[in-house]
């Protein structure tokens, strides 16, 4: 069952519903967003809040896509390495059986 969570981002309060098991993750996401928005605001005091939010959202989306791409590449390398290990183990087992 969803429960309300009070989040504070750029000194503004937001009440958001989430499952109890997701509360910490949501709070962590809000903290990250708040931090990034503050950094962007400090770098450009003249930018509107909408513009800052879009810039931060684009940066976070870009980082997410890079992380997903990197994870995919790691999965490919891991599967290759595991396949190679399986072939070596099979070879060793076959050698033991032939003795």
Specify the CATH number of the domain 3-98: 3.30.160.880
Instruction: Report the alpha-carbon distance of residue 45 to residue 40 in Å, rounded.
Output: 8
Phi, psi dihedrals of residue 16, rounded to the nearest 5°: -130, 140
Domain boundary assignment for the chain: 3-98
Task: Give me the pLDDT at residue 72, please.
Answer: 78
3-class SS of residue 78? helix
pLDDT in tens, 73-92: 888 888 999 898 888 888 88
Q: Which stretches of the chain score pLDDT less than 70?
A: 99
Task: Give me the pLDDT at residue 87, please.
Answer: 87
Task: Give me the pLDDT at residue 22, please.
Answer: 94
pTM, two decimal places = 0.68
């Amino acid at each position: 069952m969803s429960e309300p969570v009070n989040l504070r981002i750029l000194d503004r309060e937001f009440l958001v519903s989430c499952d109890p098991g997701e509360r910490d993750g949501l709070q962590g996401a809000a903290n990250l967003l708040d931090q990034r928005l503050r950094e962007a605001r400090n770098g450009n005091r003249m930018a509107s809040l909408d513009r800052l939010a879009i810039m931060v959202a684009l940066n976070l989306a870009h980082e997410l896509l890079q992380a997903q791409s990197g994870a995919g590449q790691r999965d490919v390398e891991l599967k290759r390495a595991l396949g190679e290990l399986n072939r070596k183990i099979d070879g060793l087992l076959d050698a033991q059986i032939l003795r």
